[in-house]
Amino acid sequence: MTVNLLESDTVIVVFGASGDLAKKKTYPALFGLYKNGFLPASTQIVGYARSAIKLEDFKQRIISFLKFHPSEHQLVDEFADKLHYVSGKYDDDASFINLNRYLERLAENKHRINRVFYMALPPSVFIPVAQNIKKNVYTQQGFNRLIVEKPFGRDSESSRVLMKALSASFKEEEIYRIDHYLGKEMVKNIMSLRFANVFLGAIWSKEYIENVQVTFKEPFGTEGRGGYFDEFGIIRDVMQNHLLQILSLVAMESPASLDAEDIRTAKVDVLKCIEPITRDNIMIGQYVRSADGSKPGYLDDDTVPSGSNTPTYAVASIFVDNARWKGVPFILKCGKALNEQKAEIRIQFRDVENCIFPNHSRNELVIRVQPNESVYMKIMNKKPGLSMDTVISELDLSYRRRFSDARIPEAYESLILDALQGDHSNFVRDDELNEAWRIFTPILHEIEREGIEPLKYVYGSRGPEEADQFIESHGFQRDRQEYIWTEDQVSSTQ
């Protein structure tokens, strides 16, 4: 049964509808919402792109990317009936006037209709598309919302130019800047863990926490899209947005309420307490071919400029200079072509003072974002038997066991639904973006200006060998005993 979440009819316009992002993320997310009853039956979805594609061919292309059970063919057909396609240029008045006529025909005989514009586009066309929407497609008969995909600029200056241009066409409350990590179930769960559990709230400070690691690892390289990646690098692609967003949720003070603006203000307040990253607090790397030669190095990608110093790996230590966190390193680590797929938050607590047990390891709270969503606390436990030897064990909340009947929505489903409902909680506000770029712009400019050479690491490894020493120098301590998290048999010390 459809849940009527919107007060009136809505049309969603997907710009860049023929591109990879739209096919692999946007349309599958919209189908997921429809399949689970979160898109009103009257919603229409209009794809817009430069490619001249027949509607039926476009529909078949989109359907080929949808995940569904054979028994759900009727749902797929119903969803396909909602799909439309208009081709046109991104910087041409006539093309957008034609798009507007199409949207008006869809809205015939309807008193009020809303328009949601999703920009699944390269950043080079954000500004002309936003300007043309405002000039030619903006409705006066309902609300207008603009969903913008990252990257939101390359540094502070380019971000300000983009924000100024967008704000000339749309109000801040109409803009929804997507960082899809904010839509992930376990990232959204951070606030519940922190502020709904008294025992965690009591120890969430420098008095008990030694360091915090936020890790993002991918087991594949650029694989033919290195030319695009080379424009940004891993710091802009992952660290400045995904990992810093997670840091702000882990470190922020309790917001005044669950209101979107209260939450976003609390995040901004934390970012204001962080000094820009310096060269002493960051290490960069770039992968070379795998040990067996089967996987190419970054520079072996024909689309990557010869001799590029763009980092594919980075680890940085960030400090929040306030009463709660002063002196506690937040270690952000991300990389491509590593040994596994993983995103997690690892909060390592201080040593037990005057501990009477030998081989004691620190307690850790681990929030596994992906894969296999879970929360577990590493604790010391008496080893079963006659001795008093201790062993590392865990208090484990693995979602696929505890919530086996629950469906965890894809991040894009969650965020698109938030945008449709007008909930800004999980979107990036303009002042938040300013602070994020303030922290990273100086070091990004220094890396590029001075041509800092990234450390080399082998495709499929854990990253540069020097990274372990860097992380340990900032307070992280590896377990004194071997420990394997049994949920997926991945070593939790990696």
Query: Known catalytic residues?
Result: 242
Return the residue matching tokens 């081989």: 359
Which residue's entry shows tokens 């502020």? 195
Angle CA 273–342–263, to nearest 5 = 35
Report residue 161 as tokens. Answer: 């130019």
Q: In the numeric block, which tokens belong to residue 337?
A: 């072509």
Q: Are 438 and 273 in contact (CB under 8 A)?
A: no
Q: Are 85 and 103 in contact (CB under 8 A)?
A: no
Is the separation of the CB atoms in 215 and 338 below 8 Å? no
Query: What does DSSP say about strands 44-49 and 9-15: parallel, antiparallel, or unpaired?
Result: parallel
What's the angle, vertex CA 281, arms to CA 473 and CA 426, rounded to 5?
110
Tally the C-alpha atoms within 13 A of residue 15's C-alpha that lie toward its C-beta. 28
* Residue 226 buriedness (CB in 10 A; 0-12 / 13-18 / 19+): buried
Calpha distance 333→331 (Å, rounded) = 6
Is residue 78 within 8 Å of residue 10, measured between CB atoms? Answer: no
Largest CA distance in the chain: 83
366 three-state secondary structure: strand
Quick one: which H or E segment has residue 412?
helix 411-421
Of the candidates 341, 305, 125, 332, the one whose C-alpha atom is nearest the C-alpha of residue 227 is: 305
Pairing of strands 209-217, 342-349: antiparallel
